[in-house]
Amino acid sequence: MSVFVPSWAWRPFPRPLLNLFVRGLGILVLALATATAAPALAVDAARAAPSQRDVLAGPVEARVIAVRDGDTLRVRARIWVGQEIVVNVRVAGIDAPELRGRCPSERALAKRARAFVVAAIAARPVRLSRIRNGKFAGRVLAAVETEDGTDLGAALRRAGLARAYGGGRRMGWCS
């Protein structure tokens, strides 16, 4: 007994068409998975993204790695048991002269401010409090207290090496 089999039935499915079918199916599955997961991811990201209004009360103990200038430190902060981060910290509430300032007097005052901070810290731990995001990525704004309890920003102001600063346009240091 003989069975009739049409010629198209015994040939394998053409490989290029099979590849297109499999790729298309994969793209469709990926698109569906992304479309269903995207709203949940967006909500989680929005919830997790810190804003400038978020404040961590502290205190958070930190070791100073480097003193950038009179109002910026690089620290290694212990944020949890076995968890440390390295971050730039701008001392809140002050404006110190810049090492790359506009005039020689500003640059000289900036060097004095930096030396003052190095001496005040003297390779001892500091405590950060009222920590919040700075206006530049990768930097936080915080009140910095030395190991003996001295407010670093207030000490710089008393020494005439910084000015009070609450945001906005800063005053120049050159006469």
Per 3-state DSSP, the chain is made up of helix, strand and coil in percentages (nearest 5) of 35, 30, 35
- State the average pLDDT over residues 30-50: 54
Q: What is the pLDDT of residue 56?
A: 85
pLDDT digits (tens, 9 = 90+) for 73-117: 999 998 888 889 999 999 999 999 999 888 999 999 999 999 999
Q: What is the pLDDT of residue 116?
A: 95
For residue 8, the surrounding DSSP H or E stretch is: helix 7-10
61, pLDDT greater than 90: yes
- State the average pLDDT over residues 10-24: 55
DSSP state for residue 102 in the 8-state scheme: S
**Per-domain residue ranges of the chain:** 8-48, 60-164
Task: Quote the CA–CA distance of 14 and 81 in Å, as a whole number.
Answer: 60
- The overall pTM is greater than 0.75: no
Alpha helices in the chain (DSSP H): 7-10, 15-48, 104-121, 152-158
Residues, the chain: 175
123, pLDDT greater than 80: yes
Q: What is the pLDDT of residue 128?
A: 95
Mean per-residue pLDDT over the chain, rounded: 80
32, pLDDT greater than 80: no
Architecture of domain 60-164: Beta Barrel (2.40)
